[in-house]
């Protein structure tokens, strides 16, 4: 009772990276609270295949829901799994990935349980809270921390009264760390029919294409990222050229994506990909918090900006005061000259 | 087949153009300091609804929006593009609502004004919160199925809708019986522009909240127009109109509370400042190569 739960998302029989990251975070939160970590996984033909991907993160109890209709993911059956399990187990915290599945499922579950849900958290902590109006004190609530309002502020959200306290987190924001490869957790094979009435299987998936990601932003050692200051689609061609010579990947800020300079897949930041490259070259990126949230862990940050006061310069190791148009070709030129 | 479609739309502050006075000292949004716009993905949602209307004569598209008086602009804007009418859901009791309290108010309004709704369509998320929660929460409260991240409605026939939707790393095609809730992605087809004839027809449409205080439609300069043309009087609903439970509305009905709000100031790192000159760039590249940072 009152444990920390993580909903583990799977593709086929493989547990998603974001879920592994959340299990690691969940373990830490459970330790702070002095409770157990439980995981939930729902799919088809997964029994015997997911346990060793989940338990080593320090999972004390793993609930497996294995039935034909649970894969591929559809909204209502997975909602029924969580809602009915949570009514029984009364978790105090539930974490899930802030990807398409988590953002489809989380709100439905929170609506059914009348519990609070915070999307796209960038940090999760445990701490006390005083409600001054009600004069009530809470010892240990989940602080759900996220940039808000277009990235201009960072808000800490709490759910004082309703349980579970639910939060979604994007892939790459937390770090996955195996706790103990031989961690002994209890595996509970649940009877799906007891949780999911037949009437819940209402979406038919007719066709499904999952492709490997077009880019490798998450794993790239060097990223050349463009912002609004790149100026145009053509301007991005220069970034691609720089990326080619440096063996880097190209990324972008939301402003550049919104302006149509590049593809949506390239977006780095709170509502895009979170990256930790060795080198991050920010070209014409001003540095809204939402963007910074997705790249601040980079090793070396180089900012090319014509605005000396661009916020991103504050976190940069090298600041080049100049336009992207002027500086990027020079970087290409001198790299070619010097690397020979 | 005639369809009864509700489009959920929101007027949002344009968070892409935020000035220093955007937040009040209490940490809430100072909406009056920001330009208010039609939430971009709600326009994509409206387009999907209007396409179904084009294909299915007799279909009605009704906008429901929650907000203060000026949010009625969203309803007019949608009517200029082909929506039939709409309701402004407005009450002080709705203020301070999180996504759950918002979805309670919206779902309760839908039960009242469109009990026989076939399809509820909204944008995937609003740019002032980016949560993507209200659509699924409304669906759950109404006991309806949902299809989120819609790219395109492929067909809608005999009470079955077929939709192409975005999933992580790909696309899938799904089918659901009506009624259901759809949320639409920004990458879906853009909304058609305003239609000049519809602008002329609806430009004087007003919700009661928009009238000068203490006056009625009869006191307006074009009073006779409002008498003849009912469609110029936009729908308006408050808490009592929809029999909403006050404990589930606004701040009181919101499980999430804002504990703290911080304006983020980045901690300055010690950094090297360079110019864009050839000498500086050359030196930088040499330094990075020497330290094996690149290359």
Characterise A151 by phi-psi region: left (phi > 0), alpha (psi -120 to 50), beta (else): left
* Residues within 8 A of B (CB atoms), A 64-83 only: 72, 74-76, 79
Chain A segment 132-151 residues within 8 A of B by beta carbon are: 143-144, 147-151
Question: In degrees to the nearest 10, what's the CA dihedral of A284, A285, A286, A290?
Answer: 170
For residue B227, pLDDT over 90 is answered with yes
Please report which confidence band the pLDDT of residue B179 belongs to, taking 50, 70 and 90 as the band edges. very high
**Highest-confidence range of B28-32, B266-270, B286-290, by mean pLDDT?**
B286-290
What tokens appear for A158 in the block?
Answer: 């709490």
pLDDT surpasses 70 at B148: yes
Backbone angles phi, psi at A72, to 5 degrees: -65, 165
Distance CA B284, CA B293 (A): 11
pLDDT at B265 over 60: no
Binned at pLDDT 50, 70 and 90, residue B82 comes out as very high
Least CB–CB distance from B257: residue in A154, A158, A209: A158
Instruction: Mention every residue, 6+ apart, whose C-beta is less than 8 A from residue A104.
Output: A73, A75, B136, B146, B148, B149
User: Nearest Cα to A11, choosing from A35, A45, A34, A37?
Assistant: A45
- Give, rounded to a whole angstrom, the gap between the first and last alpha carbons of chain A: 63
- The verdict on a CB contact (< 8 Å) between A334 and B147 is no
State the pLDDT at residue B22.
64
Percent pLDDT > 90 in chain A is 81
Q: What is the pLDDT of residue B70?
A: 93
CA angle centred on B125, ends B123 and B131, rounded to 5°: 155
Alpha-carbon gap: B66 to the closest alpha carbon of chain A (Å): 18
Provide the strand spans (E) within B124-245: 145-157, 160-167, 170-177, 180-184, 235-237
Per-residue DSSP letter, A54:
H
Q: Work out the burial of residue A51: count CB atoms within 10 Å of its CB; fewer than 13 is exposed, 13-18 middle, 19 or more buried.
A: middle
- Which of A34, A40, A29 shows the shortest CA–CA distance to A5? A40
Do A4-200 and A217-339 agree at the fold level? yes
Q: How confident is the model at residue B165 (pLDDT cuts 50, 70, 90)?
A: very high
CA A22 to chain centre: 9
Which parts of chain A sit beneath pLDDT 70?
A: 150-152, 212-214, 340
> What residues of A are in contact with residue B263 (Cβ under 8 Å)?
152-153
Per-residue pLDDT at A270: 81
Residue B191 per-residue DSSP state: P
Tokens 């009087």 -> residue: B233
Position B293 confidence tier, pLDDT thresholds 50, 70, 90: confident
Secondary structure of A89-139 as H, E, C letters: HCCCEEEEECCHHHHHHHHHHHHHHCCCEEEEECEEEEEEEEECCCCEEEE
Q: Report which of B71, B76, B16, B49 is spatially closest to residue B188, judged by C-alpha positions.
A: B49
Which pLDDT value is given to residue B269? 66
Q: Do A100 and B167 lie within an 8 Å CB cutoff? A: yes
Number of other residues whose CB lies within 10 A of the CB of residue A218: 17
* Residue of A196, A202, A180, A148 lying closest to A55 (CA atoms): A180
**Which residue in B31, B16, B107, B103 sits closest to B71, CA to CA?**
B31
| Chain A residues 264-303 with CB within 8 Å of chain B | 264, 270-271, 278-279, 287, 289, 292, 299-300, 302
In the prediction, which pLDDT does B294 show?
84
Contacts of A338 in chain B (CB under 8 A): 282, 285-286, 289
Tell me if A245 sits within 8 A of A335, measured CB to CB.
yes
- Using the predicted structure, report yes or no on whether residue B17 has a pLDDT greater than 80: no
CA distance A238 to chain B (A): 16
Residue A3 buriedness (CB in 10 A; 0-12 / 13-18 / 19+): buried
Q: Are B165 and B188 in contact (CB under 8 A)?
A: no
Query: What structural domains does chain B harbor?
Result: 4-253 (3.40.50.620)
Average pLDDT over chain B, rounded to whole? 92
Residue that the structure tokens 């606004």 belong to:
B250
The rounded distance, in Å, linking the Cα atoms of A66 and B30 is 49
Report, at the CATH architecture level, how domain A4-200 is classified. Answer: 3-Layer(aba) Sandwich (3.40)
- A173 vs A171: CA distance, rounded Å: 6
Q: Note the pLDDT of residue B18.
A: 60
- In chain A, what are the domain boundaries? 4-200, 217-339
pTM of the model: 0.84
User: A240: helix, coil or strand?
Assistant: helix
Tell me if residue B218 falls in helix, strand or coil: helix
CB contact under 8 A, B276 and A326: yes
Count how many pairs of residues, chain A against chain B, have C-beta atoms within 8 Å: 252
ipTM (interface pTM): 0.87
- What are the respective helix, strand and coil percentages of chain B, to the nearest 5? 35, 25, 40
Which runs of consecutive H residues, i.e. helices, occur in chain B?
40-55, 72-80, 99-113, 134-142, 196-202, 223-228, 278-290
Kindly determine whether residue A116 and residue B256, on different chains, have CB atoms separated by under 8 Å: yes
Taking residue B186's Cβ as centre, other Cβ atoms within 10 Å add up to 16
Distance, CA of B49 to CA of B62 (rounded, Å): 10
In three-state secondary structure terms, A251 is strand
CA–CA gap between residue B112 and residue B94 (Å, rounded): 17
Q: How far is the C-alpha of B238 from the C-alpha of B88, rounded, in Å?
A: 9
What are the respective helix, strand and coil percentages of chain A, to the nearest 5? 35, 30, 35
Q: Cα(A40)–Cα(B23) distance, rounded to whole angstroms?
A: 39
Residues in B closer than 8 angstroms to A319, CB to CB, are 271-274
The strand pair at A153-158 and A136-148 is best described as antiparallel
Closest-CA residue to A72 (of A8, A6, A12, A7):
A12
Name the percent of chain B lying above pLDDT 90: 79
CATH of A217-339, picked from 3.40.50.1820, 3.40.50.620, 3.90.700.10, 3.40.50.1220, is: 3.40.50.1220
Tell me how far apart the alpha carbons of residues B17 and A255 are, in angstroms, rounded to a whole number: 11
């Amino acid at each position: 009772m009152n444990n920390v739960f993580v909903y583990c998302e799977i593709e086929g029989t493989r547990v998603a990276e974001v879920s592994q990251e959340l299990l690691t975070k969940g373990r830490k939160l459970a330790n702070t609270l002095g409770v157990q970590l439980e995981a939930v996984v729902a799919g088809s033909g997964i029994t015997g295949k997911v346990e060793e991907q989940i338990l080593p993160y320090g999972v004390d109890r793993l609930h497996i829901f294995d039935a034909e209709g649970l894969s591929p993911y559809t909204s209502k059956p997975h909602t029924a799994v969580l809602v009915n399990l949570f009514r029984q187990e009364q978790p105090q915290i539930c974490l899930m990935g802030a990807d398409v599945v988590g953002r489809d499922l989380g709100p439905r579950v929170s609506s059914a349980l009348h519990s609070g849900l915070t999307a796209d958290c960038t940090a999760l902590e445990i701490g006390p809270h005083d409600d001054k109006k009600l004069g009530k004190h809470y010892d240990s609530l989940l602080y759900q921390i996220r940039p808000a309002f277009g990235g201009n502020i960072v808000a800490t959200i709490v759910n004082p009264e309703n349980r579970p306290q639910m939060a979604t987190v994007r892939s790459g924001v937390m770090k996955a760390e195996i706790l103990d490869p031989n961690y002994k957790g209890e595996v509970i094979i649940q009877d799906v029919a007891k949780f999911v009435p037949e009437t819940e299987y209402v979406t038919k998936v007719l066709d499904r294409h999952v492709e490997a990601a077009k880019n490798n932003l998450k794993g790239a050692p060097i990223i050349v990222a463009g912002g609004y200051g790149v100026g145009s689609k053509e301007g991005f061609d220069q970034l691609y050229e720089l990326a080619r010579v440096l063996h880097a990947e190209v990324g972008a800020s939301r402003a550049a994506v919104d302006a149509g300079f590049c593809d949506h897949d390239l977006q780095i930041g709170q509502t895009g990909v979170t990256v930790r490259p060795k080198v991050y070259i920010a070209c014409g990126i001003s540095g809204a918090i939402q963007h910074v949230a997705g790249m601040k862990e980079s090793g070396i940050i180089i900012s090319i900006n014509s605005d000396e006061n661009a916020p991103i310069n504050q976190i940069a190791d090298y600041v080049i005061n100049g336009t992207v148009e002027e500086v990027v070709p020079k970087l290409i030129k001198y790299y070619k000259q010097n690397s020979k | 087949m005639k369809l009864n479609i509700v489009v959920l739309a929101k007027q949002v502050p344009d968070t892409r153009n935020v000035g220093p006075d955007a937040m009040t000292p209490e940490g809430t949004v100072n909406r009056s300091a920001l330009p208010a716009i039609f939430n971009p993905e709600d326009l994509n949602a409206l387009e999907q609804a209007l396409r179904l209307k084009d294909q299915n004569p007799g279909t009605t598209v009704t906008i429901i929006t929650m907000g203060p008086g000026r949010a009625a602009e969203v309803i007019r804007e949608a009517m200029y593009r082909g929506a039939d009418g709409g309701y402004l859901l407005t009450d002080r009791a709705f203020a301070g609502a999180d996504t759950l309290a918002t979805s309670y108010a919206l779902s309760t309004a839908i039960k009242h004004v469109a009990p026989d709704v076939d399809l509820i369509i909204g944008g995937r998320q609003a740019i002032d919160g980016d949560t993507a929660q209200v659509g699924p929460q409304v669906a759950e409260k109404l006991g309806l199925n949902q299809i989120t991240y819609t790219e395109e409605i492929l067909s809608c026939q005999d009470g079955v809708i077929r939709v192409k939707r975005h999933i992580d790393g790909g696309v899938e095609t799904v089918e659901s019986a009506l009624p259901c809730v759809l949320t639409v992605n920004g990458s879906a087809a853009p909304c058609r522009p305003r239609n000049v004839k519809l602008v002329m027809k609806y430009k004087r449409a007003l919700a009661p909240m928009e009238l000068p205080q203490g006056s009625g439609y009869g006191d307006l300069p074009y009073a006779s127009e409002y008498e003849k043309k009912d469609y110029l009087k936009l729908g308006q609903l408050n808490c009592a109109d929809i029999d909403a439970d006050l404990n589930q509305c606004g701040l009181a009905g919101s499980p999430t509370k804002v504990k703290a709000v911080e304006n983020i100031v980045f901690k300055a790192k010690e950094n090297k400042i360079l110019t864009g000159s050839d000498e500086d760039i050359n030196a930088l590249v040499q330094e990075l190569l020497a330290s094996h940072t690149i290359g």
